[in-house]
Structure 1
Amino acid sequence: MSRRLLAEFLGSALLAAVVIGSGIAAQELSQDTGLQLLENSVATAFGLFALILMFGPVSGAHFNPVVSLVDAAFGGLPWRTAAFYVPAQILGCIAGAVLANAMFELPAVSISETDRSTGAHLLSEVVATAGLIVMIFSLVRSGRAAMAAAAVGAYIGAAYWFTSSTSFANPAITIGRVFSDTFAGIAPASVAPFVLAQLVGAGVAFALVRFLYPGLSPAEAEQVVVPQDTRR
């Protein structure tokens, strides 16, 4: 358990550092907002791919409370383990935000003032989260879990562009991004609506997976996001 929790903490921290750090770099290097978003999305997509490969064999590389909760709801992850994963992911994302700020010589903590709680943004979070969860569990159910690293990175990279919210799709990263008043930040007042929308998206995805893949077993669900080394 200690190895798994450390993997979730470190993976979440590095994910937040990638998302926020690449956003800061994009803001400093480019004046055009579209180019900034392109730079941020490409870095995030590649970063996710690498992090899932790095930590997947230890913890499954969830880095996302909704992934852990849906996995537990399917019977793959014990609820007790999910209860430990979620705070590790949240604390990791907060630590990653502080790290990103420090790497660019910004104040370690700067509370974001970027309000994102519009109706379009919240609908986007429902769609982005539902799509992410359905994609992950469809790969598991069809025996293609080994493709998850590339698929998750590709999906999030694309969702930066087809959603108005730029696809947070993750309560932990949503909380972490509060602590950096930069390109990737989100104001504290927007967090609760975003997290609620993400939970709704997870619920929609859970229902869709049960309908589309009714044979999902606990043994198969244990392979989320990627197959783990059971010797650990």
Structure 2
Amino acid sequence: MTAPLARRVAAEAVGTAGLVTVVVGSGIQAGRLSADAGVQLLANSLATALGLGVLIALLGPVSGAHFNPVVSAASWFTGRRTGDGLTVRELAGYVPAQIAGAVGGAVLADAMFAEPLVAWSGHDRSAGHLWLAEAVATAGLVLLVLGLGRTGRGSMAPAAVGSFIGAAYWFTSSTAFANPAVTVGRAFTDTFAGIAPASVGPFVAAQLGGAALGLALTAALFGGRTARTAQAPAAAHGDVELTAAAG
């Protein structure tokens, strides 16, 4: 990454805001256009997959298009010895920007649909099978991002990451948040994509556990890391220094 840290942090905030705007906004639109839950989820997942791919392609060359604290943490962790991942200072800038962007994206989506700007979600998501789903989704995301980087296919990140999240909406019971910042942001909207504040903590804990599993799987499947691995997908197009967000 050659852009100044302030610009990269801004890109992470804007990208995460854009992601949550897509997730929440498409959920509201789907709910207004159809009463069928399957149609609503289909619309929400398609919009998220497409929007995420576009955001990664656009902002990957600036910040790596993480839009996700666990992806940024994985970049730091895998690159801490070789120096090709995020530094502690960069990580400390990325994570707050991602969380602030996520909250801002939820508020923006609500504003565009004339919903209350801030309304705590009443959508309870507290159950063991949902936490398992979050761990699986996050592990898969981290494995994908790091695996693309280690095999020199980071340029595939926009399509691959978007496709994975779109699929994970359907094969996980939690609809694959797989992102602590997005989870926090979605607590601020009492709409289709929301999550009750009381459900946020366990979701984030499951995501962190999934990220650790993803790191372990990466080491087991791909062995030692190579230069610029931490910048994974995008790095390959710029991380894209480790792309990816989820939603």
- Matched AA of 2:192: F
Superposition RMSD on alpha carbons, in Å?
1.1
Mapping for residues 3-152 of structure 1, pairs under 5 Å: 3-75=7-79, 76-152=85-161
Q: Distance in 1 between matches of 2:176 and 2:218?
A: 20
Whether contact under 8 Å (2:156, 2:233) holds in the other structure is no
Displacement of 1:150 after TM fit?
A: 0.4
Whether contact under 8 Å (1:140, 1:221) holds in the other structure is yes
Whether contact under 8 Å (1:27, 1:36) holds in the other structure is yes
Match 1:167 to one of 145, 154, 176: 176
Q: Distance in 2 between matches of 1:49 and 1:224?
A: 12
Displacement of 1:32 after TM fit?
A: 0.3
Displacement of 1:111 after TM fit?
A: 0.6
Question: Residues 218 and 78 (structure 1 numbering): CA distance in 2 closer, same or farther, change over 3 Å?
Answer: farther
Give the % identical residues. 58
- For each residue in 1:133-187, what CA deviation from the matched residue of structure 2 results, as whole angstroms up to 9, or x when unmatched? 1011110000000000100000000000000000000000000000100000000
Q: Distance in 2 between matches of 1:139 and 1:129?
A: 15
Q: Distance in 2 between matches of 1:137 and 1:219?
A: 10
Displacement of 1:78 after TM fit?
A: 1.1
**Stretches (4+) displaced over 4 A:** none
1:228 partnered with 2:238: yes
Displacement of 1:211 after TM fit?
A: 1.6
Aligned with 1:74: secondary structure? helix
Whether contact under 8 Å (1:62, 1:224) holds in the other structure is no
Aligned with 2:178: secondary structure? coil
- For each residue in 1:90-125, what CA deviation from the matched residue of structure 2 results, as whole angstroms up to 9, or x when unmatched? 000000000000000111111101000111100000
Alignment-derived partner of residue 210 in structure 1:
219
Aligned with 2:86: secondary structure? coil
TM-score normalised to the size of structure 1?
Answer: 0.96
Unmatched segments (≥5 aa) in structure 2: 80-84, 240-247
Whether contact under 8 Å (1:159, 1:167) holds in the other structure is yes
More divergent stretch after superposition (55-64 vs 210-219): 210-219
Displacement of 1:224 after TM fit?
A: 4.3
Whether contact under 8 Å (2:122, 2:194) holds in the other structure is yes
TM-score normalised to the size of structure 2?
Answer: 0.91
Displacement of 1:218 after TM fit?
A: 4.7
Displacement of 1:210 after TM fit?
A: 1.3
- Matched AA of 1:177: R
Q: How many residues align?
A: 229
